[in-house]
Amino acid sequence: MAIRWIIAAVLLCAPVAAFAQSTLEQRVQRMEDESDIRRMLIEYGAFLDAKDYAAYAALFAPDGVWQGGFGTFTGPAAIEAMLLANLGAAEPGYVNRSNFHMLTNPLIAIDGDRAQVTSKYLFWTASPDNRPTPLLAGRYVDEFVRVNGEWKIARRTTWGEIPYRDPNAPPAAGGPPVAAPTESARLRRVEDQLAIQRVLVEYSARLDARDYAGYAALFAREGTWQTGTTVRRGPAEIQAMLSGLFGTPPAGFVNREDYHLVSNPQVDVDGDRAKARSRHLLVMRGPNGEPQPMLAGLYEDEFIREDGQWKILHRVDFPIMPTAEEWVRVMAARRAQ
């Protein structure tokens, strides 16, 4: 019995010891690898929604394989041609206002220059009255490989869960070399990305909690919030806007009527500036208390490092389903009930 306890203790301590022995370079590299793969998972959906088939196909390795409802295709050229044949070309100036992919739950296991990844997707489309409506739910099972220093998809298999679809069933620029960044610079970049992603989530959390002061404090001193032609400038004006919209919450307020989901964050950091893009989905209490998706849209953000903290310099909220005009009518009808 004592021997078994000793073996168990050794096994439990082994991963901790191994991690402690990892160098800073190894730890930073692992964080960078996971961050890069997470970004690719999101770009995959963004390129698909935008019908940017060339960029979508470029995420795959030269011998990368895509397998799903349309069949099995190998190599970026074949994958791009598959999308064009099945989804059609985008007209000039195309903006997708009818559907989008929400990507979540990534699990990433990295082993040197290979990685095993699973994630979930939810495909939303517009209902007849232009409300966000879930249409397909499934999961991606991926193999990633590092090719010439960049992560690429070696194989992606798309499984349909609701409704179920077996992917095995028959189908119905480069540049001049630059100096490698230091470990400190690489670590700072990943920390900045995570800090900005936290702001994206806190924005919705403080809005749902009717914490107007906390919400406004996420903006820079010269920060702006905009939707359509409506613009609010500076934290004080932004806070006043929320107070006018929602009123003063009662003491001990707990929001049981609505909440915001934020997904698909894309963050590009450039020194003390950054650009970010994310999706949002407003869920409200339905007539019988059930969660009801009501409004889907996009946030386009500019961030600035101010007094050592990342702040929103400019946020533009683009309602997609329904449009801003339709949403005004929806809310007027709800207030009249």
- Tell me the domain boundaries of the chain: 23-87+95-165, 185-248+256-336
- On the CB side of 37, how many CA atoms lie within 13 Å of its CA? 27
* Same fold flag, 23-87+95-165 and 185-248+256-336: yes
Question: Is pLDDT larger for residue 334 or for residue 219?
Answer: 219
pLDDT at 157: 95
- What CATH topology corresponds to 185-248+256-336? Nuclear Transport Factor 2; Chain: A, (3.10.450)
CA 157 from centroid of its chain's CA atoms: 20
Mean pLDDT across the stretch 296-319?
Answer: 95
CATH code linked to domain 23-87+95-165: 3.10.450.50
pLDDT at 174: 44
74-132 pLDDT, tens per residue?
A: 999 999 999 999 999 988 889 898 899 999 999 999 999 999 999 999 999 988 888 89
Range 32-48 burial, b when 16+ CB lie within 10 A, else e: bbbbebbbbbbbbbbbb
